[in-house]
């Protein structure tokens, strides 16, 4: 990965630059990671509902959250 660091006049790093194609790949991986985390969270919530640790939501409650 071709990363460049940008620093201010005091030498403090203030930004990072990378080629657009590499940034798009980072974004794609972050999106996939976030989706996997959401699925995992939903799965854990279902397990809690099955164990009686969490009350199931109605469809109306679920849609209201969106």
pLDDT tens per residue across all 66 residues of the chain: 899 999 999 999 999 999 999 999 999 999 999 999 999 999 999 999 999 999 998 999 989 988
pLDDT given at position 1 = 83
* Residue 1: half-sphere exposure toward Cβ, Cα within 13 Å: 13
CA pair distance 15, 39, nearest whole angstrom: 32
Six-digit token string for 45: 């919530």
pLDDT given at position 36 = 97
């Amino acid at each position: 990965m071709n990363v460049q660091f940008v620093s201010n006049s005091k030498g403090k790093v203030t930004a990072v630059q990378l080629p657009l194609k590499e940034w798009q790949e980072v974004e794609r991986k972050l999106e996939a990671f976030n989706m996997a985390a959401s699925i995992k969270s939903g799965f854990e919530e279902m397990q809690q509902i099955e164990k009686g640790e969490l009350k199931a939501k109605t469809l109306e409650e679920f849609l209201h959250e969106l």
